[in-house]
Chain A
Amino acid sequence: MALPIANQIRRLRFEHGEMTQAELAERIGMTRQTIAAIEAGKYSPSLEAAFRIAHVFGAQVGDVFQWVD
């Protein structure tokens, strides 16, 4: 079942020097597989992880994750 949360991680990685999933994972203390699952909408990160991801891109959480009705 698809989660009702969209994200802009792939675009933001591209805009930040084509950052790899492994690089993002290392910066927030997660595995590359977890970043891939979040990016694919298969896993909803905790609030803390969402803030960490947004912080890496210098963005607000709402710019990275959006609720989809």
Chain B
Amino acid sequence: MSFREKSAWITLISVLVCFGAYFVELFGGLASSSHHFGGLGSLHLLVLSVLALAGLQVGLTVVAAVTTPKHGRGPADERERLIQLRSQSLGYHVLMVLAVGLFAPAFFGHRGVEMANFALLAVVIAALTVAVAQIVMFRRGA
């Protein structure tokens, strides 16, 4: 497995774990009416998730670099650049659709921090789309 495919797996796993936990906690708390979107608790949870994401990505990337042979760690070649371009294009379109979809919670009265969290969810889904698309294309060959 090339270093760049490992990087895509690292992004997928770390974003799923960190922001999965963040949104499960956030929306779970909201559903049980024990929390609301705003407040310091929500901010702490976000900061903790971002720090966990950074730590997990750095740690796993170091492991990936150490376990990848030297010839697999060179600059991206044309096929890898094509995969990156295609996956980012797909992620961009997903983000655009979700950005327009942000009108829906706004119409239902959500404001401020709530809307910021919906926007963050859109970014996370777009990032996951990019990672999954890269993994699929790496596995298929191109």
Residue A62 lies at the interface, judged by CB distance under 8 Å to chain B: no
With a cutoff of 8 Å between Cβ atoms, the chain A residues found around residue B75 in the complex are 29
Interface bracket on A = 10 to 19
Tell whether, in the assembled complex, residue B77 and residue A42 are in contact, meaning their CB atoms are under 8 Å apart: no
Distance in angstroms between the alpha carbons of A56 and B50 in the assembled complex: 47
Q: Is A49 a contact partner of B78 (Cβ separation < 8 A)?
A: yes
Q: Which residues of A contact B140 (CB under 8 A)?
A: 42
Residues of A within 8 A of B (CB): 22, 25-26, 29-34, 36-37, 40, 42-43, 45-46, 49
Known: A31-B2, A34-B80, A46-B78. A26 touches B71 (CB 8 A): yes
Nearest neighbor of A45 in chain B, beta-carbon distance: B78
Q: Which residues of A contact B74 (CB under 8 A)?
A: 29, 31
Number of B residues near A (Cβ < 8 Å) is 15
CA distance A32 to B138 in the complex (A): 12
CA distance A67 to B71 in the complex (A): 31
Please name the residue on chain A nearest to B69 by beta carbon: A22
Q: Is B72 an interface residue (CB 8 A)?
A: yes
Tell me whether A37 and B141 are in contact (CB under 8 A): yes
Which residues of chain B (62-96) have a CB below 8 Å from chain A? 71-72, 74-75, 77-80
User: A31–B82 Cα gap in the complex (Å)?
Assistant: 13
A30 x B2 contact (CB < 8 A): no
